[in-house]
Amino acid sequence: MTFSLRRLLIGDPLQTSQASHQKLSNVVALPVFASDALSSVAFATEEMMAALLVAGAVPYFGLAPWLAVGVVLLLAIVVVSYRQTIAAYPGGGGAYTVAGENLGPFAGRTAGAALLLDYVLNAAVCASAGVAAIASLLGNYGVDIANFTIPLALCFLAFIALVNLRGAKESGVFFAIPVYGFVFIVALLIAWGGVLLLSGHWHPAHSARELAVARVAGEHEVTSLAPFGIFLLLHAFSSGCTALTGVEAISNGVQAFRDPAPKNASKTMVWMAVLLGGLFIGVSILASRAGTIPPNAQGYEETVLSQLGRVVFGTSPLYLVLQIATCAILVLSCNTSFADFPRLCSLMARDGLLPRQLSNVGDKLVFDRGIIALAVAAGLLVIGFKGSVHALIPLFAIGVFLSFTLSQAGMVKHWLGEKSRGWQGKMTINGLGMIATAVVTIVFACVKFRDGAWMILFLTPALIVLFGAIHHHYQVTARQLSLEGYRPRQRMRNHVLVLVPDLHRGVIPALQYARSISVDAYALHVLIDPQREARLREKWTLYGRGVPLQFLPSPYRSLSAPLIEFIDDLKARDPGCLVTLVVPEAIPTAWWARALHGQTALMLLWKLRSRPGVVAVNVPYHFDAWLDDDELHALDNERMVAPS
């Protein structure tokens, strides 16, 4: 039953040979790899403005475009640096690989921890932002879904997890329409908005008075460091830097490009940066002029992009398109986490840093355990942070910038080691990238420490320690199981015992089996009810097949305790011996009937698992759970005929 439900949700299994390695043209690759980066336009401006809201008597929203320019400059540095990574690692140069290969395992593990955390956060942020986009849309049609934010975000995650568990082929169209649609509608928003602004046909979303009220409300969020201007500026800048998340995706997927792959990937990366930078600056300029109020804990619910959409598009259907496209690109961005997290988990599991099972490919050719782990972790984050993008943002992007820094540092080491033609120039570029991203990482960690960044600063080293412990355990295991210098043990005596709860047809096969593997097998009965001894002895003389029977008293009515004591005793008297415990089990054919028969045999085997030198043998006897009266009579007649 569980099996067919699984089939219905996940679909039929796929053969190993069905794995495909399709090559993508640049036009198709751009949406596939850039959805994550571009989707940040949906929330990066808003988060910058939320930080500026409390900066002074009148919100310094005018600073937003300048901060956006700063973020885009950083983007340029990162992209130029990563173009070199692409050239050097045409097989795909994720931060985990680049840092690990060049700077040693510790750097690799650090990058791995940072990335894993960030993938989880990306999934949670995108799910929450996607719900916010829909909530803003419906809010303008008078439907309030504020109370359903968390369940909706969870459904969102469950849906994407399911799509990924099905292992559906990622067709180019699946990505192209939402991504290009989003780029187009936001570009149109910026162009149209620019015309309106310059021509003076501009009706702000909120009055100055409403802004002032929101500012006062927003100030409650800022705790002690509020009056310090430079702090707030850096805070806003850090929030804007979330726009850079996902930029590295192309460098991980160079292999998917058409030949010459590195060149095509580089070109696509530049295009992505141009689109992202243009949209981000454009939205930031307009939003700062449109009287939009970023949603915050005090009840402003509508997203900045939605407010801007209403200012520019009014009630025309284009507003509807904007919101749907926003939600769609956020789904795809979330999907990127679901593709990358399990892949990184499997890489790290193969290196012995995570449980090995994470490297197993499921029957749909996907890393199903990784997908489920991500869905659960992101779901818990959504619940813990009540599905609020604003609450999650301080935790977000530190991981990405840390991994940027480590990756660039790895590249610096790479050029230093290689010293190929022009290595000085390349090293300088990567060095600049390293310094810039390191500064941002530190700024981010400091200014957002109290808002939640401390969790990441605690979890990252905790994960690194965990990776180390898992790695050590696997090494210890491998050394112990190695056959090097292996000297097989002498043949030892095997005591064969049969545990008999009673004597009936279900027990006989176990007695036969025990006899067939050892001539001096004997039976044990744990005597929970002393009154049964005489009856069992009597039956035994008739049907016991000559196997000796021994009774173990059980004053506390436990089945396992006297048995374990008996086995320990046996092993004490004959050290190094093997004990084979044969357990007969009468199993009804129907699953519902199993509830009517205690699973004592199974529980006993579970308890004996941790005892060395005990081999458990399960001899099943199957019988029908249900027979109607005719069938019962037939059974009786059959037995009457049989000679005893």
Please report, as residue ranges, which positions from 424 to 483 form the binding site for its own copies (by CB under 8 A): 470, 472-477, 479-483
Scan for tokens 């090995």, then name that residue: 356
Encoded amino acid at 54, one letter: V
Nearest to 119 by CA among 300, 403, 378, 350: 378
Using CB under 8 A as the binding rule, the residues of this chain from 313 to 342 that contact its own copies are none
When the beta carbons of 104 and 620 are compared against its own copies, the nearer one is 620
# chain residues binding its own copies, by CB under 8 A:
87
Calpha distance 41→322 (Å, rounded): 12
Q: Which of residues 343-382 bind its own copies (CB under 8 A)?
A: 355-357, 360-363
Q: For the CB of residue 506, give the shortest distance to its own copies in the complex, in Å.
A: 5
- Shortest Å distance, C-beta 457 to its own copies: 25
Q: Which of 158, 173, 517, 577 binds its own copies (CB under 8 A)?
A: 517
Give me the least distance between CB of 357 and its own copies, in Å please. 5
CB atoms within 10 A of CB 273: 23
- Between 428 and 599, CB nearer to its own copies: 599
How far apart are CB 642 and its own copies at their closest, in Å? 5
Answer for which of 22, 316, 420, 516 binds its own copies (CB under 8 A) is 516
In the complex, the smallest distance separating the C-beta of residue 574 from its own copies, rounded to whole angstroms, is 16
Minimum CB–partner distance for residue 164 and its own copies (Å): 17
CB 501 within 8 A of CB 600: yes
> What is each CA distance from 314 to 196, 204, 308, 317, 318, in whole angstroms?
12, 11, 9, 9, 9
Q: Which of 553, 558, 560, 556 is nearest to 581 (CA)?
A: 560
Decide: 76 and 281 in contact? Cβ < 8 Å.
Answer: no
Between 26 and 494, CB nearer to its own copies: 494
CB of 427 to its own copies, least distance (A): 37
Q: How far is the CB of 458 from its own copies (least distance, A)?
A: 21
State which residue, 26 or 618, has the beta carbon closest to its own copies: 618
**Structure tokens, 136:** 């803003």
CB of 168: closest distance to its own copies in angstroms?
Answer: 17
Of 284 and 346, the one with the shorter C-beta distance to its own copies is 346
Per CB under 8 A, contacts with its own copies among 583-602 are 585-589, 593, 595-598
Nearer to its own copies, 423 or 551 (CB): 551
Nearer to its own copies, 216 or 615 (CB): 615
Kindly identify the residues of this chain, within the stretch 278-297, that bind its own copies according to CB under 8 A.
none
Token pair in block for residue 467: 């990776």
Nearer to its own copies, 57 or 641 (CB): 641
Per rule CB under 8 A, is residue 642 in the interface with its own copies? yes
Please state whether the peptide bond connecting residue 260 to the residue before it is cis, i.e. omega within 30 degrees of 0. yes
Give least dist CB 167 to its own copies, A.
12
Residue with smaller CB distance to its own copies, 91 or 612: 612
3-state secondary structure 567-630: HHHHHHHCCCCEEEEEEEEEEECCHHHHCCCCCHHHHHHHHHCCCCCEEEEEEEEEECCCCCHH
* Residue (116 or 272) nearer to its own copies, CB: 116
Contact flags string 539-578 toward its own copies, x per CB under 8 A: x--xx-x---------xxxx-------------------x
| Subset of 518-537 contacting its own copies (CB under 8 A) | 530
- The token pair at 351 is 């290196």
Report the C-alpha gap between 189 and 283 in whole angstroms.
Answer: 8
Residues 485-504 that bind its own copies (CB under 8 A): 485-489, 491, 494, 503-504
Contact track, its own copies, 12-51, x by CB under 8 A: -xxxxx----------------------------------
Q: Kindly state the tokens that stand for 545.
A: 């097949």
Residue 361's contacts (CB-CB under 8 Å, 6 or more residues apart) are: 16, 367
Are the beta carbons of 130 and 334 closer than 8 angstroms?
yes
Cα(384)–Cα(32) distance, integer angstroms: 30
- Give how far Cα 640 sits from Cα of 352, 629, 634, 636, 644, Å: 63, 17, 10, 6, 9
For 39, counting Cβ atoms within 10 Å of its Cβ (0-12 exposed, 13-18 middle, 19+ buried), the class is buried
- Which residues within the stretch 609-628 sit at the binding site for its own copies (CB under 8 A)? 609-610, 612, 614-627
Q: Rounded to the nearest 10 degrees, what angle do helices 172-199 and 304-313 cross at? A: 60
